[in-house]
Copies of this chain bind each other. A is one copy, B any other.
Amino acid sequence: MKNTLGNNVSVTLFGESHGTAIGAVVDGLPAGISVNEDFISHQLDLRRPVGKISTPRKEADKFNIVSGVFNGKTTGTPICIVIPNENTQSKDYSKTYGKARPGHADYTAFCKYNGCEDYRGGGHFSGRITAGLVAAGAIAIDLLSKKGVKIGTHISKCAGVEDDSFTEYESNINTLSDKMFAVLNDEKGGQMIKNIENAGAQGDSVGGILETAVIGLPVGVGEPWFDSVESVISHALFSIPAVKGVEFGAGFSCADMLGSKMNDCFTVTDGKITTKTNNNGGINGGITNGMPVIFRCAIKPTPSISKEQETVDFIKKENTTLSVNGRHDPCIVHRARVVVDSITALALCDLLSQKFGTDWLGDN
């Protein structure tokens, strides 16, 4: 479905960048789950822009939970979270309408919506829409955590710099959960930031790779063929417009491996079956095997840059040039991290409830 993801547990997105409000409706979560508004705020903070990459803005995204929560707990009915748009300026976007930002959805939205799209500030394609996902996802992350399922994402590569790898999953995930710039090695993070700033200073932008680990999933989760774990997670991730690639375990590098190397040998210790390597990313045949589920997604460089670019005016149907003015993020990789965690949590809640039921999600 268009703006609804999931069946048993679903999230529906709405809003445009410069409309009245954006938000999300989460349905199917069982009743009685504590909703921690501080944690939602915390998660929203993680996706907010950071000045010069490092300083968090002072003002918060204010969100209103207008339904589905009563006395601090879920009621079992739809949770609608509304986030008003406050900083929408009276700037006259209609003046520049028609000039397609390369790499952006301006032109495709114009084609799809016949010129009726809300073009102001990216409209429904603005990264701002992910704030609704993050607020919704916070509840799912919290819920899964109580079930022993933990999700953590780090910036494995950005602006040409590689972060360290996961070493101890649980402690790594805990460490990452509070970081505004989620790297495992802060020195590498510092280099990334410096490179991002340099790119920004030149009116350009950079991309990167996010790597996610999900631990604590039961063995036997996934609904092949078409709701394989990979299908469900990639479907969710590729809804983020900046994601251009998703891989699990060894991913694309498996193309260069021999089977004897790629295969993860099973081993049993104290009655517990694990694999010695994890090239399959915790998934065999679309079903979890008990190892951490590992995936990476490629985040493209922010398309809005101040450097002059060639483009077209799709109204006038003529060639022109464009330099995107005003503040823009020279990198969104660090902000996308919490979006990845959020959408993964929501997708997993839906997948788990096929097998175990939505009641199970609320069971502690």
Contacts and interface: CB of A to CB of B under 8 A. Distances in A.
A112 interface: yes
Nearest to A208: B255
A108 B288 contact: yes
Interface in A275-316: 275-276, 279-281, 283-290, 296, 298-305, 307, 309-312, 314
A165 interface: no
B32 A114 contact: yes
A230 B27 CA distance: 20
B7 A7 contact: yes
B251 A100 contact: no
Contacts of A362: 114
Main secondary structure of the interface of A (DSSP, over half): mixed
Given A220-B112, A244-B251, A244-B280, A226 B67 contact: no
Interface in A119-146: 123-125, 129
A241 interface: yes
A153 interface: no
13 contacts: A2-B78, A31-B115, A74-B116, A108-B220, A158-B255, A225-B240, A234-B238, A246-B247, A252-B252, A254-B298, A273-B314, A355-B357, A356-B359
Contacts of A115: 31-32
Give the copy number: 4
A224 B2 CA distance: 6
Interface string A50-93: 00000000000000111110110111111110100000000000
A22 interface: yes
Contact of A258 (B4, B68, B106, B205): B205
A325 to B, nearest CB: 15
Contacts of A236: 226, 231
Contacts of A289: 107-108, 111
